[in-house]
Each structure stands twice: as C-alpha cells, then as structure tokens.
C-alpha cells in the first residue's frame, strides 16, 4: 500500500470527474425535472402520472412481468444448474459455454428471432395449423406472453450461472446426508439446497428482476406500441408526446424500483445468513 494521497487523487480524479460530469449531473438534472414545476417544488407530476389508468396498467405490468420472469427463471435455473453441476468437468465446461453464448449475441438479434417463431406465419402458428389445432393464426406476438418469453430467454443465462456457482459451493455431503436421514426430494430442496444456495439465488434474482424492469428492446420489439412496459412508455412520452416531465417521472420510478430491489434482496440474503450463522453457533 502506498500512502501518497496527492498521487492517489491524481490517479482517481479523472475517472470520478468524468462520470460526475457526463453522467451524474445530467441524470440528477433530469430526475429533478419531475419535482420542479412552474418554479416550485411539488410532487404533482407523480400524482398526475399515477392518476392515468394507462400509466397504472404499464406500471403494474412491468412489476408483474419482472416478478414472473424472476420466479420462472429461478425454477428452470435450479433444474438446469443441477443438471449441469452433475456433468463431467469437460462436459460441464462446454455446456456452461453454450449457456453463456447468448449473452454475447446482440439482444436485438435474440429478440428478433422470436418474431420468426411467434409471428402470424411463424413456426408456432404454422405448426398449430398443420396439426389442425387452430383455424386462424393465434395472436402471440405483441402480447405480454411474447414479452415474457423474450425476457425469460434474455435473462435465464444469468440465473443459471449464478445458481451453478452457488450449487458448486455447497458442501458435497449435505444432500446425501439429508437423504440418509430420511428426507424426500422435496424436503431436501426446501430445507437443505435452498438455504445453502440462497445467496446465488438472490444474486441471480436481482440481475433478472432489475434487468426485466428496465428492459427496452424486448417490449419494443415483442410488445409493439400497445403492450407497453415502463421503458417503452418513457420512449413514447418523449418521441410521440414530447412530455419530458412524464419521462422524468418514469425515470425516477425505474431508478427507485431498481435500487429498492437491490437493497431488499441484499437484506433477504444477509438476514438468512445471520440466522444460519447463529444456528451454527448454537
């Protein structure tokens, strides 16, 4: 460790100053716009925003899709992570690589693929028609279902990777021990695996939940102009209605929700750890 303060400041200052000027100041200015109307400080923009039933619907849809995507990705993530952890080391490396591969591909390309699959003349509709289940094409695209599928595919790799490392850090004999002591698989998962992998679940869950809340590309391509989420609503407010106050309100809601999710989930993780540590001490 070096003690020269002047040197340390000289090294760190350019980066900190850059972020402050190019990022912090403009963002804070944008956020303050929603609280500062006609020369006085007020929350009336927020009251206005939430009094619109369209905005309310978008707000709840964003929260709902975020929650559903997080829960479903956790369920699939556990199954997938289990299967991957059980593989031989070489196979594990390859499959983990395949799981991570989508993260390198442009989200625009990944989301675009679902148009080919879910569209009116897409694979799903052609297949349903061919086996005689439907007469007219189903409207899957531009719906909450389409957004859900797109988000799940976008964020599932993050959950799987968090859970793989959590499962690998679990004591090896925990599961066999619980089995020997007579626990069934449901009890093993609920009482042994879940508590021991909670941190990985919280890390993955935070990434998936905040990622889904703040998604733009997926709702823009798969939700169309009718099924909006908060970010696509924000884009519309600016580009269609020129309503910067509403955009500032949405920006603030998005930031508050992301921070709240981060803090809440961190709390959950540490609270459980405390219980575990105290339990171990006793």
Residues 59-78 binding other proteins (CB under 8 A) are 76
Q: Which of these ranges, 60-68, 169-177, 187-195, 217-225, lies near other proteins under the rule CB under 8 A?
A: 217-225
Segment 16-35, which members bind other proteins (CB under 8 A)? 16, 18-20, 22-27, 29-30, 33
* Residue among 34, 65, 66, 114 that touches other proteins (CB under 8 A): 114
Segment 130-159, which members bind other proteins (CB under 8 A)? 152-153, 156-157
Determine if 1 is a binding residue for other proteins (CB under 8 A): yes
Nearer to other proteins, 84 or 166 (CB): 84
Contact 205, 228 (CB under 8 A): no
Q: What is the DSSP letter of 268?
A: H
As a whole number of angstroms, the distance between CA 76 and CA 95 comes to 15
* Residue among 37, 63, 68, 117 that touches other proteins (CB under 8 A): 117
Segment 195-214, which members bind other proteins (CB under 8 A)? 214
- Helices 25-33 and 244-281 sit at what angle, rounded to 10 degrees? 110
At which residue do the structure tokens 């679940």 appear? Answer: 201
3-class DSSP state for residue 36?
strand
In angstroms, what is the minimal distance from the CB of 10 to other proteins? 8
Determine if 184 is a binding residue for other proteins (CB under 8 A): no
Number of residues that bind other proteins (CB under 8 A): 77
Determine if 127 is a binding residue for other proteins (CB under 8 A): no
Segment 220-239, which members bind other proteins (CB under 8 A)? 220-221, 231, 234-235, 238
As a whole number of angstroms, the distance between CA 212 and CA 204 comes to 12
Contact 202, 117 (CB under 8 A): no
In angstroms, what is the minimal distance from the CB of 209 to other proteins? 13
Contact 158, 173 (CB under 8 A): no
Residue 265 is encoded by which pair of tokens?
A: 């989930």
Task: Please report which residue ranges of 52-168 form alpha helices under DSSP H.
Answer: 53-85, 89-104, 107-118, 123-130, 144-168
Determine if 282 is a binding residue for other proteins (CB under 8 A): no
Beta bridge partners of 157: none
Nearer to other proteins, 119 or 201 (CB): 119
């Amino acid at each position: 460790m070096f003690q020269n303060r002047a040197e340390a400041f000289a090294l760190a200052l350019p980066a900190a100053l850059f972020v402050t000027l190019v990022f912090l100041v403009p963002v804070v200015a944008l956020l303050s716009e929603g609280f500062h109307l006609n020369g006085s400080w007020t929350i009336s923009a927020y009251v206005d925003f939430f009094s619109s039933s369209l905005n309310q619907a978008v707000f709840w849809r964003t929260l709902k899709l975020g929650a559903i995507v997080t829960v479903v990705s956790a369920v699939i993530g556990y199954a997938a992570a289990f299967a991957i952890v059980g593989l031989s080391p070489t196979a594990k490396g390859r499959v983990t690589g395949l799981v991570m591969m989508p993260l390198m591909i442009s989200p625009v390309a990944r989301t675009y693929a679902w148009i080919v699959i879910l569209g009116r003349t897409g694979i799903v509709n052609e297949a349903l028609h061919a086996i005689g289940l439907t007469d007219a094409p189903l409207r899957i695209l531009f719906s909450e279902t389409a957004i859900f599928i797109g988000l799940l595919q976008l964020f599932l790799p993050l959950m799987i990777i968090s859970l793989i490392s959590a499962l690998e850090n679990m004591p090896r004999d925990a599961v066999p021990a619980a089995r020997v002591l007579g626990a069934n698989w449901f009890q093993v998962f609920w009482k042994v695996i879940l508590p021991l992998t909670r941190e990985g679940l919280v890390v993955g869950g935070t990434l998936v939940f905040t990622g889904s809340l703040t998604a733009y590309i997926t709702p823009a391509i798969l939700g169309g102009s009718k099924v909006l989420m908060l970010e696509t609503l924000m884009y519309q407010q600016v580009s269609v209605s020129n309503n910067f106050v509403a955009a500032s309100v949405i920006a603030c809601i998005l930031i508050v929700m992301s921070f709240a999710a981060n803090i809440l989930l961190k709390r959950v993780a540490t609270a459980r750890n405390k219980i575990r540590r105290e339990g171990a001490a006793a």
